[in-house]
Amino acid sequence: DPNEGAFARFLRTEVYSPEKRAGNISLLVGVSMFAASIAGVRVFGDALVP
């Protein structure tokens, strides 16, 4: 599409591309685990201190 914007082209080629799906899922899992660990330490931080 010649009228496609740069952001739409980026989404099509990098995010929705089947070739890059495994890497995107791996990145998503890593970021999710990092955020969950931060939230877990904030919620249960008192239980970690002896």
25-43 pLDDT, tens digit per residue, is: 999 999 999 999 999 999 9
| Residue 19 pLDDT level (bands cut at 50, 70, 90) | very high
Give the pLDDT score at 1. 74
For residues 27 and 34, the answer to whether their CB atoms sit within 8 Å is no
Kind and range of the H or E run holding 37: helix 21-48
CB 32 within 8 A of CB 26: no
What average pLDDT does this structure show over 10-21? Answer: 94
Contact 13, 7 (CB under 8 A): no
Distance of alpha carbon 12 from its chain centroid, rounded? Answer: 17
The rounded Cα 22 to chain-centroid distance in angstroms is 12
Q: Domain-by-domain residue ranges, the chain?
A: 25-50
